[in-house]
Amino acid sequence: MKKQVSQTISVCSFYLRNINHISRFLPRQTKERVVNAIITSRLDYCNALLYGTSAVNIARLQRIHNTATMLIMRSPRSDSGTLLLRELHWQPIVCRVDFKLLVFTYKAMHNDAPVYLCELVCPYQPTRTLRSANNNKLEVKRTRTKAGDCSFAVAVASLWNNLPTDIKTCDNLTSFKHIFVVLLISVIRHEHYILFY
């Protein structure tokens, strides 16, 4: 993914420089809309493929995301990217990747996704009666390679099984997204998501 990440960063940097030239003439709300339309949409495009990529790639994308927040907030480079993201209610890149995969999983489990994705999501069925049988878990397939661990079937099963039960049993996609974001805000300080400066 190094080439893809480099190309995304190059394009985003170009547009950020152009937006920066006119940013002092724009109110904050307009800047936020422009950045969302031009920069964030590019960072989110096919970002589910970034699951399992190197921390270096994620950190590079996160720096672009932080630069976009600093441009909107007109803050100096010394300010914390974490605080700025919180103020804008934006999620770090790692969270955005996990969120997209989990939305795909929810849709696949409720037959609201393409057939090829629904076939990759297998509910967990223990060989004997266990309490965990009713926890709405997915079967995690065993792999021998890192690339296998990053495959859709394995990645979504691992992420899904780590979710609390009340999120997994949501009635609709809107409530699933809402509860997930609320949970994410509460755990955003967790070390796993602190990949930015």
Q: Is the pLDDT of residue 151 over 50?
A: yes
Model confidence pLDDT, tens digit, residues 173-193: 888 888 877 777 666 544 444
Residue-level pLDDT at 185: 64
Provide mean pLDDT across the span 50-61. 90
Residue-level pLDDT at 188: 53
The string of DSSP codes covering 112-161 is -S-HHHHTT--B---SS--GGGGS--B-----SSHHHHTSHHHHHHHHHH
Residue-level pLDDT at 92: 87
Sequence ranges of the domains in the chain: 2-90, 96-193
Residue-level pLDDT at 189: 47
Residue-level pLDDT at 195: 38
Residue-level pLDDT at 196: 35
Residue-level pLDDT at 130: 62
Half-sphere exposure of 6 (CA within 13 A, CB side): 3
Model confidence pLDDT, tens digit, residues 77-93: 666 666 777 777 788 88
Distances (CA, A) of 60 to 20, 34, 86, 112: 19, 21, 19, 33
Which has more confidence, 118 or 43? Answer: 43
- Across all residues in the chain, what is the average pLDDT? 81
Residue-level pLDDT at 133: 56
123: phi then psi, degrees, rounded to nearest 5? -60, 145
Residue-level pLDDT at 194: 41
Model confidence pLDDT, tens digit, residues 115-135: 888 888 877 776 666 665 566
**Distance from C-alpha of 93 to C-alpha of 64, rounded to nearest angstrom:** 10
